[in-house]
Structure 1
Amino acid sequence: MSKIILITGGSSGIGKSIGEYLTLKGHTVYGTSRNPERISDSKFPLVALDVRNRESIQNAVAEIIKKSGRIDVVINNAGVGITGPLEEIPTSEIKNNFETNFFGPIEVMKAVLPQMRSQKSGLIINITSIAGYMGLPYRSVYSASKGALELITEALRMEVKEFGIHITNVAPGDFATNIASGRFHAPLIKGSAYEKPYGNTLKMMDEHVNSGSNPNEMAIAIHKIIETPVPKVHYKVGVFMQKFSIVLKRILPDKVYEKMLMNHYKL
């Protein structure tokens, strides 16, 4: 059955791939962009939405309900990356990252839950990250914002289950998207105590994204979840070793796992 689907951050990257795939599958998809008028090649309609602005979120949700009468699926995909030594990341950038990656999805969920309760049905899919399962060096803020969204999802799904609403997390690994160009990089400071290790780690992170998986894998995974009557709490999408790293964290002693990560990043 065709569903009305809202995808935040649907103008590029993973969100765009998901939107195009779900459109091909016969669903009515609304993507979002802060400036939809600048996007000329979208294969599905885009509505104006800035996840850092509560009024913008409420207006976008109201517009979709007015046009389609309901919202069946919400995919909280909008997010930004951030890298740097925690000591050198401006606090304003840390707050901005949480506004986008954590508080934004919360406001989107608050905006759609009344409609889903009235429908007695709905599905919310929060796009998190495998990085949200572990503290990664020079990605501390990103790991924290995505990990926080994972835990919010775990709690909220229990609160809304009685209303026929399902909520789940999907944690992707590295995918070949433009996230590296859009993330905030704390600048490499000449003479900083972190100059060499951060520079090497930053180079490695960019290489991982550039050689990442095809975003269509995420689109296929999201479609399967939408077709699942009772989704699981967590899904992971990525190459085997990225997903297996979560298993290792669960079974290895903390210091052994930490040493494994430091060896990986050559720290």
Structure 2
Amino acid sequence: MQIFKDKVILVTGANRGIGKSLVTALLNNGAGKIYASCRDLKKMPVFADDRIVPLQLDITDIKQVARIAVAASDTEILINNAGTLSPGNILQGEPSGMEKDLEVNYFGTIKMMRAFAPILMKNKPAIMINIVSIAVYSPLPSIAGYAASKAALYSATQSVRIELAKKDVTVYAVNPGAIDTDMNKGSDWDMPDPDSTAIKILESVASGKLDIIPDVMGQGMYTAWREEPMKLSKIFSDLYHVEK
């Protein structure tokens, strides 16, 4: 995938899950330098590659975001992967969990987009990739706050795509279904591993596909939604009431 060869790339939430797998896949595809960020560098895996520059970053902290924008001003590809998931439904779930999901998944990612858009425009042609979720189409009530935050992020991603379309910055949205990561620990769903998912994401970006669903489960949900939105709502309703 020549599109990533020799590029300077920043990946948020690089310490685990899809973020960690994206870093490995990018290294294997010739990336020139990767800024790998997470909130706690003690939790950053050892990638054992001189191209890795670890960065401590909490994307909800505007001062940290500004500092990283200066430190990584040569970034050509920004991958906004950092996120969180708080279980709970809308009517009875803890409001603090919903607020956290919005703070990280939506407002935190917006902070990154605003800070790095000028950098990407300067280093064009450039790429922004936002890891969103298949839940943007119809939320599972048990993670309704998370779904709402990701739906908001998807809308913002589409807006930024239009804003940057004539600035030589291409904006991609990735809407995976459930992936076998720490975020879905304990689930008995048949989930793909993050390594294969990361490769499919990069392949889709390389092919120029702007809206990416990298897994079979996510594609099935999206197909149901396209046929009739209530089909996906019914799938999630059945899941929710079986859980109850």
> One-letter code of the match for 2:38?
S
- Check 1:177–1:55 CA distance in 2 against 1; reply closer, same or farther (3 A cut): same
Which residue of 196, 209, 217 maps to 1:232? Answer: 209
Which residue of 182, 192, 206 maps to 1:178? Answer: 182
What's the CA shift for 1:226?
4.4
What's the CA shift for 1:138?
1.2
- Check 1:242–1:223 CA distance in 2 against 1; reply closer, same or farther (3 A cut): closer
What's 1:18 paired with? 22
What's the CA shift for 1:177?
1.0
What's 2:114 paired with? 110
Cα distance between partner residues in 1 of 2:165 and 2:72: 24
What's 2:64 paired with? 56
Cα distance between partner residues in 2 of 1:249 and 1:178: 27
Which segments of structure 1 move beyond 4 Å, counting only runs of 4 or more?
Answer: none
Spell out the pairing of 1:87-236 with structure 2 (5 A cutoff): 87-180=91-184, 206-208=187-189, 211-228=190-207, 231-236=208-213
What's the CA shift for 1:149?
1.0
| TM-score with structure 2 setting the length | 0.88
Question: Cα RMSD between the aligned structures?
Answer: 2.0
- Check 1:116–1:258 CA distance in 2 against 1; reply closer, same or farther (3 A cut): closer
What's 1:29 paired with? 34
Whether the 8 Å CA contact 1:172–1:236 is kept in 2: the answer is: yes
Whether the 8 Å CA contact 1:76–1:126 is kept in 2: the answer is: yes
Whether the 8 Å CA contact 1:132–1:142 is kept in 2: the answer is: no
Cα distance between partner residues in 1 of 2:232 and 2:128: 32
Q: Percent identity?
A: 28
What's the CA shift for 1:221?
2.1
What's the CA shift for 1:89?
2.2
What's 1:190 paired with? none
| TM-score with structure 1 setting the length | 0.81
Aligned residues: 234
**1:258 aligns to 2:223 (yes or no):** no
**1:245 aligns to 2:221 (yes or no):** yes
What's the CA shift for 1:92?
2.2
Whether the 8 Å CA contact 2:221–2:232 is kept in 1: the answer is: no
Cα distance between partner residues in 1 of 2:43 and 2:236: 41
Cα distance between partner residues in 2 of 1:59 and 1:16: 22
Structure 1: gaps (5+ residues): 182-202
* 1:89-128 residue CA offsets vs partner (Å, 9 max, x unmatched): 2222211111111111111111111112223321000001
Whether the 8 Å CA contact 1:154–1:233 is kept in 2: the answer is: no
Cα distance between partner residues in 1 of 2:92 and 2:202: 40
Cα distance between partner residues in 2 of 1:180 and 1:227: 27
- Check 1:114–1:140 CA distance in 2 against 1; reply closer, same or farther (3 A cut): same
Whether the 8 Å CA contact 1:14–1:177 is kept in 2: the answer is: yes
- Check 1:252–1:58 CA distance in 2 against 1; reply closer, same or farther (3 A cut): same
- SS of structure 2 residue aligned to 1:86: coil
* 1:114-164 residue CA offsets vs partner (Å, 9 max, x unmatched): 112223321000001111211212111111111111111111111111110
> One-letter code of the match for 1:213?
P
Whether the 8 Å CA contact 1:11–1:46 is kept in 2: the answer is: no
Whether the 8 Å CA contact 2:139–2:236 is kept in 1: the answer is: no
What's the CA shift for 1:253?
6.2
What's 1:7 paired with? 11
